[in-house]
Amino acid sequence: MTIELHTWNTPNGRKISVALEEMGLPYKVVPVNITKGEQMAPGFLKLSPNNKIPAIVDPEGPDGKPVSIFESGAILLYLGEKTGKFLPKSLAGRIPVYEWLMWQMGGFGPMPGQVHHFIALENEQDRAYGLKRYMAETRRLYGVLDRRLEAHDFVAGDLSVADFAILGWAWRHPRHKVELADFPNVKRWYEALMARPAVKRGMDAKLD
């Protein structure tokens, strides 16, 4: 049964295409053109009441019944539960996955996203304060990640959905104006993930 991935070519969308490829789940992309406001369409709002991409529809959800899920973190946890992949079975093993997934959702996404916003402004005065604030916080978050990866191959020990979540945003490091050479452990982690065939397929998938 093919999962529908309602999305657009954004970091949050890439998290899910990478996860689906790594988990070997069949899926088809249903583009939601956020530049044209399609995320506000009534049909999409039934799937994602917060009018944000991505959302998925799994025709073979719990008890074999169709289910839709919104919010990328919730989707990753659902897919990990569904497949038994990239989500440890023990509670002790899941704790760091939960921690680093929430770290991404709460910080390493919203903060670089603000960089994306302010860097696109034409008015220099409008840009200056926002870029100073959010670029500093984005670099701080890269530093947090770099320290974590100093002693770990992946953020939660073994490769997990938390890595896929963070990768979606690290993928946009050029747009954040961040040189990965400044964060050598992040660079090593990023290059190792991007070398994986399934990650490459997820990154190359046409989402728009």
The pLDDT > 90 percentage for the chain reads: 93
Q: Which two tokens stand for residue 96?
A: 């760091």
The answer to whether domain 1-84+197-202 and domain 89-195 are alike in fold is no
Q: Please tell me the CATH code under which domain 89-195 is placed.
A: 1.20.1050.10
Residue ranges covered by each domain of the chain: 1-84+197-202, 89-195
The model's pLDDT over 173-195, given as tens digits with 9 standing for 90+, comes to 999 899 999 999 999 999 999 99
In what helix (H) or strand (E) does residue 3 lie, and over which residues does it extend?
strand 3-7
CB 16 within 8 A of CB 39: no
Burial 176-207 (b: 16+ CB within 10 A, else e): bebebeebebbbebbeebeeeebbeebbebeb
Superfamily (CATH) of domain 1-84+197-202 = Glutaredoxin (3.40.30.10)
CB 101 within 8 A of CB 92: no
Q: Which two tokens stand for residue 122?
A: 């034409």
Q: Is the pTM of this model over 0.75?
A: yes
Q: Indicate the pLDDT class of residue 205, thresholds 50, 70 and 90.
A: very high
The model's pLDDT over 144-184, given as tens digits with 9 standing for 90+, comes to 999 999 999 999 999 999 999 999 999 999 998 999 999 99
- Rounded to whole angstroms, what are the CA distances from 95 to 19, 25, 122, 185, 194? 19, 25, 43, 22, 25
The model's pLDDT over 25-56, given as tens digits with 9 standing for 90+, comes to 999 999 999 999 999 999 999 999 999 999 99
Dihedral sign, Cα of residue 112, residue 117, residue 123, residue 125: negative
What is the DSSP-derived secondary structure letter of residue 162? H
Residue 123 has pLDDT above 90, yes or no: no
Q: Which residue has the tokens 């399609």?
A: 38
φ, ψ for residue 33, nearest 5 deg: -75, 100
